[in-house]
Amino acid sequence: MELERRSLLRGAQGTTAFGKRLGRLLTTGDWVGLTGEMGAGKTTLVAGIVEGIHPGQKSRSPTYVRVEVYGRAPAIVHADLYRLERAEEWDTLGIEDLAGAESGAIVLVEWADRAPGRLPEEGLRVSLRYAGQDAREVLLEARGERWQRLLREAALGSGS
Ligand SMILES: Nc1ncnc2c1ncn2[C@@H]1O[C@H](COP(=O)(O)OP(=O)(O)OP(=O)(O)O)[C@@H](O)[C@H]1O
Ligand SMILES: [Mg+2]
């Protein structure tokens, strides 16, 4: 069973604010897979999540380097699979190793659909889509019991 939540995000600030609230729910070992077409707001949402976990921590768009790591305890592993040519390239990125290092990490993967089946079954799936020029719709899908409970209970609101 999957639990879903949809919200409307008004402007980039709405996406960032939603990301911050989401970030505060994340703990070591969590994996978040983000999908959505170019410009849908994935990197903006990640920036909010990172800010929610480590206030003041700046994030980047790892489109070229593919993986960035921010902060500690928990470290945040931020991957962008846009330039992945084949799903097998996932194995060269070392994301599982980074995720398991030290005290564990939170893993955020943009363009997660480019490496089907590589993310753990459990976790959160986030998809973003255009809802007019100045808004986006975010769909959260909980995979596994922990995320179902979190999504049921969390007051994420709908952007701001
Ligand atoms: N809710 C929103 N309403 C309007 N604009 C938004 C919203 N959220 C983000 N944006 C804007 O959309 C643009 C693209 O955002 P972003 O770079 O996060 O998308 P992306 O999904 O990472 O794209 P890409 O796949 O090309 O990297 C940015 O200018 C950002 O400010
Ligand atoms: Mg991006």
- Domain 3-84+93-153, CATH class in plain words: alpha beta
Asked whether 15 lines ligand 1 (CB < 6 A), one says: yes
Asked whether 49 lines ligand 1 (CB < 6 A), one says: no
What pLDDT, in 10s, does the model give residues 111-125?
Answer: 999 999 999 999 999
Q: What is the mean pLDDT of the chain?
A: 92
Least confident range from 43-47, 78-82, 152-156: namely 152-156
| Shortest-distance atom of ligand 1 to CA 63 | 27
Using DSSP's 3-state secondary structure scheme, residue 156 falls into coil
Task: Round to whole Å and give the CA distance between 82 and 49.
Answer: 20
Asked whether 69 lines ligand 1 (CB < 6 A), one says: no
Asked whether 43 lines ligand 1 (CB < 6 A), one says: yes
| Shortest-distance atom of ligand 1 to CA 61 | 27
Q: What is the rounded average pLDDT of the residues 33-38?
A: 98
Task: Round to whole Å and give the CA distance between 103 and 77.
Answer: 13
Task: Round to whole Å and give the CA distance between 53 and 73.
Answer: 10
Note the helical H segments in 24-130: 42-53, 90-93, 95-100
Asked whether 123 lines ligand 1 (CB < 6 A), one says: no
What pLDDT, in 10s, does the model give residues 123-153?
Answer: 999 999 999 889 999 999 999 999 999 998 8
Note the helical H segments in 6-78: 11-23, 42-53
In this structure, which residue's CA is closest to atom 8 in ligand 1?
Answer: 12
Strands (E), 20-144: 31-35, 67-70, 75-80, 105-110, 123-130, 135-143
Residue 104's pLDDT is 84
Q: Residues 134, 157, 79, CA angle at the centre, nearest 5°?
A: 70
Report the percent of the chain where pLDDT is more than 70. Answer: 96
Using DSSP's 3-state secondary structure scheme, residue 14 falls into helix
Whether 126 and 32 have beta carbons less than 8 Å apart is answered as yes
Angle between helices 11-23 and 42-53 (to 10 degrees): 40
Which band of pLDDT confidence, cut at 50, 70 and 90, is reported for residue 159?
very low
